[in-house]
């Protein structure tokens, strides 16, 4: 069955049943800029959150500096150079910077700020090339060092990531060389200018690369800490607190979209007796195997499973028919039976088994997640009362429960 796209306010891991990140730091050979497709999206949001204020300030500072340079031009340049230069500064560069600065405020534009900011930075670079060109064609000795200032602005002040910053820097470099060749700058002067500007771009590219690399490492470290905080240390499933937080978000999404939810409470049958007979080390290994079976049946983005405590597990499945949900529960129960783990002290059979209680409902405004959990708990109680090693499903308001 098709499932709607996840709620963007609640980014979920692709496999809710098992942890996807190692709790240990990555080895040096793993330290690359590339992340998985999902991690790239998450990193984009992380980078935006970290750099948005910096971009806003950088654009504001650039606007102020171009105004100061315009004042300097108005005072010092001859009229035939001053008018076109002021036209570029005040008629092109400053308006573009202003638009980019204003774009940092609307939430709908913020995800595009890398390319908005990059476009504004490129306009600055090309605008400065144009200013130098006007000076050259009028034989006015305007220094080219303004290109160097803009280059370092690209890489270190704007908050641009490596790719857009490098594009701005190297495109400006190529256009500048073409302009100087067209205006006939003496070869030795062109050689030195190209060398210094190229060196500035190399320094900027390498520096920007490693700044982004460090930010990515920090992002991965925070992701790993979050994983450790949200995962049960024994089974790798979500812990109870993380389940509650994610399930509340999914509940609200199901309420908005009027989709059904299945909430399951699962309990390993007679597990205390298992621990007493086989020992806690064997009990831990059994819980790991049971958790793997449960987690392997919750792989869609909005399906989540967790260890609720002890030998009890909980799960939530989004937008399934009752028949499909029951089929998943039966596969979980059968999968645990296939493990064929001896349990001689169980009254439900001589192998490890599980009882499952399921609440199937479409969330209503007067209901909450706790209501669904209570209903699932009632269904679990009925499964145990009816002999365990079975699935019992209940809907709100049902006086009877269907068992599998």
pLDDT tens-digit map of 47-86: 999 999 999 999 999 999 999 999 999 999 999 999 999 9
CATH 3.30.70.270 occupies which residues in the chain? 240-403
Query: Which pLDDT score is estimated for 404?
Result: 56
* Residue entry with tokens 């069955």: 1
Query: Is domain 240-403 given the CATH code 3.30.70.270 in the classification?
Result: yes
> How far is the CA of 34 from the CAs of 149, 213, 251, 326, 354, in angstroms?
30, 9, 33, 40, 42
Strands, DSSP E only, in 197-332? 261-268, 304-309, 312-318
Q: What is the DSSP string of 88-109?
A: HIIIIIHHHHHHHHHHTSSTTT
Q: CA-based angle 169:113:10, to the nearest 5? A: 135
Catalytic residue list contains 257: no
**From 180, 227, 230, 311, active-site residue:** 311
Instruction: Determine the pLDDT at residue 25.
Output: 43
Task: Give the separation between CA 114 and CA 55, rounded to whole angstroms.
Answer: 9
Which residue(s) pair with 391 in the sheet?
Answer: 356
Can you give the pLDDT at residue 261?
A: 96
Q: Which residues of 269-287 are buried (b: 16+ CB within 10 A; e: fewer)?
A: bbbeebbeebeeeebeebb
Looking at the whole model, is its pTM more than 0.75?
no
Helices (H) and strands (E) in the chain, counts: 12, 6
- Give the residues across from 262 on adjacent strands: 317, 360
Q: Which residues, given as ranges, of the chain have pLDDT below 50?
A: 1-31
């Amino acid at each position: 069955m098709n499932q709607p796209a996840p709620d963007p306010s609640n980014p979920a891991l692709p496999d809710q049943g098992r942890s996807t990140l190692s709790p240990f730091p990555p080895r040096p050979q793993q330290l690359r800029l590339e992340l998985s497709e999902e991690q790239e999206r998450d990193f984009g949001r992380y980078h935006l959150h970290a750099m948005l204020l910096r971009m806003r300030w950088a654009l504001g500072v650039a606007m102020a500096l171009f105004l100061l340079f315009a004042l300097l031009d108005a005072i010092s340049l001859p009229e035939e150079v001053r008018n076109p230069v002021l036209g570029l500064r005040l008629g092109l560069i400053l308006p573009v910077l202003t638009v980019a600065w204003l774009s940092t405020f609307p939430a709908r534009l913020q995800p595009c700020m890398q390319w908005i900011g990059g476009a504004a930075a490129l306009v600055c670079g090309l605008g400065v090339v144009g200013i130098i060109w006007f000076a050259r064609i009028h034989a006015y000795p305007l220094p080219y060092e303004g290109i160097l200032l803009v280059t370092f602005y690209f890489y270190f002040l704007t908050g641009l990531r490596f790719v857009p910053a490098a594009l701005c820097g190297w495109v400006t470099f190529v256009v500048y060389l073409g302009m100087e060749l067209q205006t006939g700058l003496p070869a030795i002067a062109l050689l030195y200018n190209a060398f210094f500007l190229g060196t500035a771009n190399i320094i900027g590219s390498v520096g920007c690369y490693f700044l982004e690399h460090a930010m990515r490492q920090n992002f991965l470290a925070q992701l790993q800490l979050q994983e450790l905080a949200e995962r049960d240390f024994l089974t790798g499933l979500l812990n109870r607190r993380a389940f509650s937080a994610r399930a509340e978000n999914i509940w609200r999404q199901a309420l908005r979209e009027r989709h059904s939810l299945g909430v399951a409470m699962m309990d390993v049958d007679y597990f205390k007796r298992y621990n007493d007979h086989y020992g806690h080390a064997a009990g831990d290994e059994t819980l790991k195997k049971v958790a793997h079976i449960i987690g392997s049946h919750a792989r869609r983005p909005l399906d989540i499973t967790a260890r609720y405590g002890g030998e009890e597990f909980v799960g939530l499945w989004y937008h399934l028919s009752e028949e499909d949900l029951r089929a998943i529960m039966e596969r979980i129960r059968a999968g645990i039976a296939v493990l064929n783990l001896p349990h001689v002290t169980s009254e439900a059979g001589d192998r490890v088994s599980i009882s499952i209680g399921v609440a199937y409902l479409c969330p209503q405004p007067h209901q909450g997640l706790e209501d669904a959990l209570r209903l699932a708990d009632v269904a679990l109680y009925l499964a145990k009362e009816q002999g365990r090693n079975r699935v019992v499903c209940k809907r709100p308001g049902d006086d009877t429960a269907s068992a599998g």
